[in-house]
């Protein structure tokens, strides 16, 4: 299955000249404009969601069209593979895997080919996320004795620690302009959402709530941060301003809802949920309306969606 479609109307020259002869220049021009408009729609890459599933008996990374059609296992490895993240140009997927006997960050082509171990470290590395320009990958690692946020070049070079705190730091999320990174931290005694400069400076607690606030996701326009929180007694998807203001519960459901990810145009949010009795992922409008089950697999667990 080709996950990226770049078809062009490269064979149109002879048909167009035939149209000009048959329809005249004016008629053929109208038809040509219509065909070019259609070709634009074909050439654009359709939306896909990468996710983690146990439907083949172990944790694998799958890719599925946003309507849920034709899920494809792109890792096909007996080891644990999870936490997928699309590159900004949509051609690669970073993910975590323990296929080398401990958790490492890998990157592969979008069809699953050519997986490469980027971290190659004896400690655990996981939860990758790309910088908006595609040049860097932030990730979590316990290589210095506890979980911290690190960053490396997209080829795995220059691995550098950004946070330096005895508490757990993880789940990095880059701002769309590349200037800041939101992340989880327990440095105030419970899980909160922080934001810091992209070089690790100036960390600020955005949530300041006694409940668990986790897994931030920056909206594509940079105006909001989605996250999950149990402040209403169970895990729900919330959205707030990038300064932490005006947190709003989007899901309001008695089941577990977590790990939000925005559509590229910011109009929708995919999230993991257990509202059908097992782990699935849903898509809803960005205001929380119209939740739809996309994964629809009864026997296995599906989760950790990442929108392309």
Structural domains of the chain, count = 2
CB 98 within 8 A of CB 90: no
Strand, helix or coil at 25?
helix
Residue 197: which pLDDT band, with cuts at 50, 70 and 90? very high
Residues 104 and 129 in one domain: yes
Exposure class string for 86-122: b at 16+ Cβ within 10 A, else e: bbbebebbbbbbbbeeebbbbbbbbebeebeebbebe
Residues 195 and 144 in one domain: yes
What is the predicted pLDDT for the residue at 6? 20
Residues 139 and 65 in one domain: yes
Residues 129 and 7 in one domain: no
Residues 176 and 31 in one domain: no
Q: Convert the pLDDT of each residue in 13-31 to its tens digit.
A: 323 323 333 344 444 433 3
Kindly report the pTM of this predicted structure: 0.84
Percent of the chain with pLDDT over 70: 85
Of the ranges 21-25, 81-85, 161-165, 184-188, which one carries the lowest mean pLDDT score? 21-25
Residues 40 and 171 in one domain: no
Residues 144 and 11 in one domain: no
Residues 13 and 146 in one domain: no
Residue of higher predicted confidence among 42 and 223: 223
Does residue 244 come out as left (phi exceeding 0), alpha (psi in the -120 to 50 range) or beta? left
Query: What are the backbone dihedrals phi and psi of residue 183, each rounded to the nearest 5 degrees, phi first?
Result: -160, 165
Residues 110 and 221 in one domain: yes
Residues 22 and 69 in one domain: no
Residues 169 and 39 in one domain: no
User: In which domain, by residue range, is 17 found?
Assistant: 1-45
Residues 55 and 32 in one domain: no
| CATH assignment of the domain containing 209 | 2.120.10.30
What is the predicted pLDDT for the residue at 54? 95
């Amino acid at each position: 299955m080709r996950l990226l479609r770049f078809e062009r109307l490269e064979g149109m020259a002879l048909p167009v000249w035939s149209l000009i002869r048959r329809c005249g220049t004016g008629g053929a021009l109208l038809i040509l404009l219509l065909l070019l408009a259609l070709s634009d729609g074909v050439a654009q890459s359709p939306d896909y969601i990468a996710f983690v599933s146990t439907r083949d008996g172990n944790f694998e990374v799958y890719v599925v069209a946003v309507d849920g059609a034709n899920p494809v296992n792109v890792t096909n490895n007996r080891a644990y593979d999870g936490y997928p993240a699309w590159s900004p140009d949509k051609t690669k997927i970073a993910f975590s895997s323990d296929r080398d006997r401990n958790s490492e960050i890998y990157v592969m082509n979008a069809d699953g080919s050519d997986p490469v171990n980027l971290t190659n470290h004896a400690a655990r590395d996981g939860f990758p996320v790309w910088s908006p320009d595609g040049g860097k990958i932030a990730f979590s690692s316990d290589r210095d004795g506890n979980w911290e946020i690190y960053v490396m070049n997209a080829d795995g070079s220059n691995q550098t620690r950004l946070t330096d705190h005895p508490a757990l730091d993880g789940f990095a999320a880059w701002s769309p302009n590349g200037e800041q990174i939101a992340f989880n931290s327990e440095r105030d005694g419970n899980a909160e959402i922080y934001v810091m400069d992209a070089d690790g400076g100036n960390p600020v607690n955005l949530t300041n709530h006694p409940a668990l606030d986790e897994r931030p996701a920056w909206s594509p326009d940079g105006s909001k941060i989605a996250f999950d929180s149990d402040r209403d007694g169970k895990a729900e998807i919330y959205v707030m301003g990038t300064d932490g203001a005006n947190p709003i519960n989007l899901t309001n459901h008695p089941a577990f809802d977590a790990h939000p990810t925005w559509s590229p145009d910011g109009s929708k949010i995919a999230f993991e949920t257990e509202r059908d009795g097992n782990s699935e992922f849903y898509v809803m409008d960005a205001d929380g309306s119209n939740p739809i089950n996309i994964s629809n697999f009864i026997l296995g667990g599906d989760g950790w969606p990442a929108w392309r």
